[in-house]
Structure 1
Amino acid sequence: MSQAAGGVGKRIAKGSMWLSAARLVVNLSGMVSTVLLARLLVPADFGLVAIAATLMQIVTSITEMSLSQALIRLDDPTDQDFHSAWTLSMLRGVTIAVVLSASAPLVAHIYGDQRLVPIMIVLGCGAALSGLANPWLAVFQRKLVFWQEFVLSTASKMTNVIVAVAVAWYFQSYWAIVAGIVGMYAATVIASYCILPRLPRFSLASWRTLLSFSVWTSASQLVNALNWRADQLLVGKIATPTVLGYYNVGFNLANLATRETTLPLIQTLFPAFAAIKHDKPRLAAAYIRADRLLVALGVPVGVGFALVAQPMVPLFLNPKWLPAVPIIQAFAVIFGLQGIAGLVTPLGMAMGQVRLLFMRDLQVLCIRLPLMIAGAVIWGVPGLVAARVLTGLYQIAIAMLLAKRLAGVSLMRQLRTHLPTLISCCAMALAVWWVAGTGWRLFAGYDLAQDLVLRVMVGGIVYIGARVILWIVMGRPEGLEREAANMVGKLRRRPA
């Protein structure tokens, strides 16, 4: 048993390394793309495409069938299962294209901009193309092998960046963002067959087996899409495309810095939790250890990104994007804190509790949507942002209760696990605020760059120092600090 557990642990660690490398490439590419596009385009271009892209994501979520997860969860999937998964995915892509094209005139009328019609049609064609991806890649995930995810993510994101920046540089048009999205879909499909050259065929033999798992996950995906993107539709309706551009870029930058940092670990944990779902003690121990790491990564990144947003935006984007700074700050913090809720979804899916996850998402939506509408109507965009932050905190509380129910991890144990991270982040924020308030500079000129570097250095030193001090005061308990100390000890004992 211990050898098998060790093998699973090694595969999870290796998979996390591959996924971390993939996310690093994706994040850096996304940051470079955002910086370049922000300089080549105007905020209104981002706002216009954001409306169409948000609607596409909602339609995509309505038709989501979670076919890869269904293939992973099957004990012994057959060729017919993979053929059926590809067929359902292809039919779903065509459905998305038809729905987006048919609804484009109505959407353009609602938002008063006829440019949305061709944008939605082209994005629908891209979604149809994405439905042709190779379903056999799920075999890798079943075996906790994730190098193919690195190839797929890198190929798709690099294509997105190259196409979008090239079109933006030549045409300086919002079509650059659309072209990048379609290019990303095309690259994903091509790369999937290069990784595993196995062609599927049309078949619906196993559609009942696949959809029996997918029905609740599909409903949950729809609710999640509304939870995640409905605010952009509200901003597009109550404000100008320029304001929506500020909101969209601020939202995406905060998401890029926080949620994407923790995504590699979350992706590996669904198959890992599924492998030990019947061993409750192991499952609880695995959950708390992974949760500790996830929060230790996500929260300081989110808080730190909020602390450096003020000098970072005018330095890398352009002073014209300064109105996006408070949006970045609010979302970066709440997205970082939501790392506390990040592992409940793979845990629930591994245990087959997809209906419970759907009810959680629906409950959050029923609270978030009225609050966002009220906030937007009364206070505009600031009110909408405040509503998202408050409901994000509520979502964290719900996730902690679900972790207690599914994995048997008490609320006090979860709080004790996260306390060092939260205290260290508070210390980091106070230190950075103090340094920023002094206006200290090493030399004249390059004020924004000096301010950014100073904030990063002070924040990093204070966060790590606070964690080490807390660990010593608490009696050197098990955790990240103990693992780091053991690793350093092994390196020191290793012969030269």
Structure 2
Amino acid sequence: MSLQKKALSGISWTFVEQFGSQAIGFIVQIVLARLIAPEEFGLLGMILVFNAVGNSLSDSGMSQSLIRSDKPDEEDFSTVFSINFAVSVFLYLLFYFTAPFISEFYDQPRLTDLIRVYSIVIVINSLFIIQKTRLTYELNFKYQMKAQLPALFLSGLTGIVLAYLNFGVWALVYMRVVTGIALTVIYFFQTRWIPTIKINRVKLKEHFDFGYKVALSGIMSRVVSNIYPMIIGKYFSAAMVGYYTRALTMKDFPEITISNTLDKVVYPLFARIKNDNIQLKNAYQKIQILSLFVLSSVMLLLIITAEPLFGLLLGEEWLPAVPYFQILCIMGVFYPINKYNSNILKVKGRTDLYLKMTVWSNILLIIGIALTVKFGIIPLILSQVVVSLIRTLINIYYANKFIDYPLHEQFVDVFKTTLPGIISFALVFAFIYFNSTLDESLYVIQLIAYGASFSLILMLIHILFKTRSLKEIMSIYKLVRQKS
């Protein structure tokens, strides 16, 4: 099978996995939002940063090193597994004993037990990450889909049952633990790969030299991105943390489905052609235009339909989260540009530049937090959008060094790709602004009317002007037909 067909097959299976995973998660979160109070979601939001850091540290970026390796063998996989597992156990013990101090920081005594149970997920994740990495290296995404969907269905069902039985925030914690256990069991029976506790020092040095910079970048990014619930919980209230995390979850549904579908395939694909800069640039350009077209259209549509969407799905109790959600959706438009420019640096082995870029981006985020936190949550979230735009420019600057895709050329592609969506958004938004009537009985009508109007105008613009985005989609459609 050609590399192009492998990529298309991978995207197909990954889309099923990501869409299915996000759909299950989305439905589960809607049900849980009606069974669990915002304050309970807020408690979990306060400790997500510690779990995010733990997962980054336990992997140390070495799984990505395995994916970009030319021919990793059993010693490579076993070495990385052994280190990941040892580090994850150490981190669990660290969080276990520091949990009381974290609870004292928030003045929330309940967090001690929550942290001690939730942190065990770090250890569980280390048990299946290498099996998943092996499948990714082989571009075998069908097995990953067959593991992910049953695990999420089982954990989602567990969470709903526990929430119905008034477990509150513990329903969310146990749901995540069940996900990890289920994935570990399923991946074992799928791959039948049993790691040996063996460390090859030469291979460890090779993967660590690449991975530690990716890990540091990931830790800094996760700390700063997850620091927002921490700051909101410290200076505002648990309910506001709940609103923020709910807005973030709703924004992440389309973003993760679309971007991760492509990214899981794109990174190993880029790794295969990393030495051919012309082919690499061509592949990058096509993927970025496609993902940007889809994601920008979806995000603009969500901004327009935010109020009836939240009112219909979550209930009026969650309407205060709407402004947070709309601002975060703006940030979501930049995600593909940031992600794929970063992938260029990683496949080229320039994790030093990747780390440097992350450091500057996170310094800007911290400055943004310091300057805006005293003015309220809205300015605080807006600072994320501004920094995301600056980070996009930094990413483009560094990636251009390797694939000759400069800022002005990327800007033209981005502008042409997003302009139809911006025009459609402006027209529908103007209509809503002058005819705004939010009533619970009209949620369904408004959602359909706003969504249909935006989609129709967008489609007409692309057809009339025969945009490159439409041509890329048609070329993929033709390839799918040829394959079938």
Shorter-chain TM-score bucket reads over 0.9
- Measured after TM superposition, the shift of residue 492 of structure 1 is 12
Query: Structure 2: how far apart are the matches of 1:376 and 1:445?
Result: 33
**Residue ranges of structure 2 left out of the alignment (5+ in a row):** none
Matched, 1:130 2:119: no
Matched, 1:310 2:307: yes
Task: Report the counterpart of residue 111 of structure 1 in structure 2.
Answer: 106
Query: Structure 1: how far apart are the matches of 2:440 and 2:174?
Result: 39
1:367-391 alpha-carbon deviations (Å, 9 max, x no partner): 11121122112x1211211111111
Q: TM-score, normalised by structure 2?
A: 0.94
Task: Report the counterpart of residue 18 of structure 1 in structure 2.
Answer: 13
Matched, 1:197 2:186: no
| Alignment partner of 1:39 out of 34, 39, 42 | 34
Matched, 1:414 2:416: no
Contact 2:311/2:319 (<8 A) preserved: yes
Matched, 1:338 2:335: yes
Contact 1:47/1:245 (<8 A) preserved: yes
- Measured after TM superposition, the shift of residue 306 of structure 1 is 1.4
1:321-380 alpha-carbon deviations (Å, 9 max, x no partner): 111000000001211233222201221111101111111111011111121122112x12
Task: Report the counterpart of residue 480 of structure 1 in structure 2.
Answer: 469
Q: TM-score, normalised by structure 1?
A: 0.91
Matches within 5 A, 1:58-457: 58-133=53-128, 135-205=130-200, 206-377=203-374, 379-437=375-433, 439=435, 446-457=441-452
| Distance change (3 Å), C-alpha of 1:486 and 1:145 | closer
- Measured after TM superposition, the shift of residue 138 of structure 1 is 2.9
Query: Structure 1: how far apart are the matches of 2:472 and 2:391?
Result: 30
Paired amino acid for 2:369: M
Query: Structure 2: how far apart are the matches of 1:134 and 1:7?
Result: 27
Contact 2:277/2:402 (<8 A) preserved: no
Paired amino acid for 2:390: Y
Query: Structure 1: how far apart are the matches of 2:282 and 2:229?
Result: 39
SS in 2 for 1:278: coil
Task: Report the counterpart of residue 3 of structure 1 in structure 2.
Answer: none
Query: Structure 1: how far apart are the matches of 2:99 and 2:163?
Result: 24
SS in 1 for 2:139: coil
Paired amino acid for 1:263: N
SS in 2 for 1:105: helix
| Distance change (3 Å), C-alpha of 1:207 and 1:13 | same
| Distance change (3 Å), C-alpha of 1:409 and 1:41 | same
1:409-462 alpha-carbon deviations (Å, 9 max, x no partner): 122221222223321111121232234346499xx9941100001111111111
| Alignment partner of 1:470 out of 443, 465, 472 | 465
Deviates more, 1:37-46 or 1:297-306: 297-306
SS in 1 for 2:108: coil
SS in 2 for 1:30: helix
- Measured after TM superposition, the shift of residue 225 of structure 1 is 0.7
Paired amino acid for 1:282: Q
Deviates more, 1:399-408 or 1:179-188: 399-408
- Measured after TM superposition, the shift of residue 298 of structure 1 is 1.3
Give the superposed CA RMSD: 2.3
SS in 1 for 2:165: helix
Paired amino acid for 2:174: A
| Distance change (3 Å), C-alpha of 1:487 and 1:35 | closer
Deviates more, 1:45-54 or 1:340-349: 340-349
SS in 1 for 2:109: coil
Contact 1:302/1:337 (<8 A) preserved: no
Query: Structure 2: how far apart are the matches of 1:415 and 1:312?
Result: 32
Contact 2:397/2:407 (<8 A) preserved: yes
Contact 2:292/2:414 (<8 A) preserved: yes
Query: Structure 2: how far apart are the matches of 1:230 and 1:105?
Result: 19
| Distance change (3 Å), C-alpha of 1:486 and 1:369 | closer
Contact 2:22/2:257 (<8 A) preserved: yes
Q: Which has the higher contact order (CA 8 A, sep 6+)?
A: 2
- Measured after TM superposition, the shift of residue 301 of structure 1 is 1.2
Contact 2:159/2:175 (<8 A) preserved: yes
**Residue ranges of structure 1 left out of the alignment (5+ in a row):** 1-5
Deviates more, 1:232-241 or 1:72-81: 72-81
Same amino acid, percent of matched pairs: 18
- Measured after TM superposition, the shift of residue 46 of structure 1 is 0.4
Paired amino acid for 2:459: I
